């Protein structure tokens, strides 16, 4: 089952990062590569773990690995990705419904505010330079009390002598190691941060979208001057 999207006139088909690179080169080999590197195994174990079924958005859904698992578990799903080639693989290989998928940007999500119980981004936000704008959009479309889950490479909490080298390699690869705890601070509460592997770089963040009342309680109060 698919979640409702905004009308076509309000959707942006211009991706923030170059999804056509994936369309032309990576899409046909993506599933094989992610199986060999263990990324699909990480997704299978960690992407939906402990999350209750509901309305789910996968930001940077790629070939639909998580979406297919989510449908099996009873979620109402939508997926967005900047690469038409990756979405074609999701349609052809995983038989996902076409009306569940849209080509678009993480920085301009074509959904109404508070549309989803769960918003997930797995391995996608490292490709988004304007993480502040993407974070604001992700928070916007999550309902108050809903969960935002980020499963991605991030700078480890405990830094070792290899950290600068690994960071440089990531940057040369085109990835941006974001401080997700900082960028998703506004309007949310960090529930947990787990290290999943890859020398501490693969991490999972769970945030709860705050209600207006929650946000007011968190705001500093000042005595009358």
Other beta carbons within 10 Å of 196: 14
Read off φ and ψ for residue 200, nearest 5 degrees.
90, -5
CA distances for 71 relative to 30, 74, 105, 188, angstroms: 21, 5, 22, 26
CA 105 to chain centre: 11
Identify whether the C-beta of residue 94 lies closer than 8 Å to the C-beta of residue 62. no
pTM, two decimal places: 0.78
- Domains of the chain, residue spans: 8-161+177-215
CATH topology of domain 8-161+177-215: Rossmann fold (3.40.50)
pLDDT in tens, the chain (225 residues): 655 544 443 333 333 344 444 544 454 545 545 554 545 555 656 789 999 889 999 999 988 889 988 999 999 999 999 888 888 888 888 788 889 999 999 999 999 999 999 999 988 898 898 999 999 999 999 999 999 999 988 877 776 666 666 666 666 666 788 899 999 999 999 999 998 876 677 889 999 999 877 766 665 544 444
Angle, alpha carbons 180-183-187 (nearest 5°): 115
Angle, alpha carbons 215-112-72 (nearest 5°): 100
């Amino acid at each position: 089952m698919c979640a409702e999207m905004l009308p076509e006139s309000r959707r942006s088909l211009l991706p923030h990062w170059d999804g056509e690179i994936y369309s032309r080169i990576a899409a046909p080999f993506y599933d094989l590569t992610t199986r060999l590197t263990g990324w699909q195994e990480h997704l299978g174990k960690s992407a939906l773990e402990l999350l209750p079924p509901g309305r789910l958005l996968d930001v940077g859904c790629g070939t639909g690995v998580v979406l297919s698992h989510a449908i099996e578990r009873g979620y109402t799903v939508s997926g967005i990705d900047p690469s038409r080639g990756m979405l074609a693989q999701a349609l052809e290989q995983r038989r996902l419904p076409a009306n569940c998928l849209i080509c678009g940007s993480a920085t301009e999500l074509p959904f109404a505010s508070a549309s989803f119980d769960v918003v997930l981004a797995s391995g996608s936000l490292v490709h988004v330079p304007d993480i502040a704008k993407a974070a604001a959009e992700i928070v916007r479309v999550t309902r108050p009390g809903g969960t935002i889950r980020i499963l991605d490479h991030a700078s480890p909490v405990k830094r070792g002598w290899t950290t600068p080298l690994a960071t440089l390699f990531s940057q040369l690869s085109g990835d941006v190691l974001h401080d997700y705890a900082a960028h998703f601070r506004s309007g949310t509460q960090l529930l947990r941060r787990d290290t999943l592997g890859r020398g501490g770089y693969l991490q999972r963040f769970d945030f709860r979208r705050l209600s207006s009342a929650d946000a007011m309680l968190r705001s500093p109060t000042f005595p009358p001057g």
